[in-house]
Amino acid sequence: MFSRPVNTASVNWGAAIGAGIVAGVVATGAQVALWWAFLDDALPWILYRDARLTAAMLMGPEVLPPPPTFDWRVMAIATFIHVMLSIAYSLILACLISRLGIRLSLTAGLIYGLGIYGVNMYGMTFIFPWFSVVRDWITVITHIVFGLSLAGTYKMLSRPAPQGF
């Protein structure tokens, strides 16, 4: 009736951490590419805006007011938060897909990415209401890319090394 508990002994924690970092970079690249392709003259201000939205989680809402300009402290804090969240989300997904094949893992990653979008853009706005401004199709696609690349990278990194001759 109930599913078996996850056997965390089968999780490759190093692969999960690496997958989180890779997926965070891939998703950020996808988001920047989508901004560039579909939003006229949005770069770099939209990147600076989103960095401020994220950094405000630790630095407080005083970093939010316009203009969205480059600030190395804001960028460093936002990057730190993104990396930590990517790794945390990766550790969770690794527990869920460690025993699945690649097709099911990718499907789970896609669904997981959509779930993270819901958590980030609707759940987190109860605590950080300023995130509501980034609820758009580009952010949805970015989260799907994150989930897919997270699952795919985890499966690739957690494969056993080939044995010698």
Q: What percent of the chain has pLDDT over 90?
A: 86
Nearest to 58 by CA among 36, 33, 84: 84
pLDDT value for 144: 98
pLDDT in tens, 67-109: 889 999 999 999 999 999 999 999 999 999 999 999 999 999 9
Least-confidence region, from 8-12, 68-72, 102-106, 137-141: 8-12
Kindly report the pTM of this predicted structure. Answer: 0.91
**Nearest residue to 89 via CA among 6, 155, 154:** 154
What value does the mean pLDDT of the chain take?
93
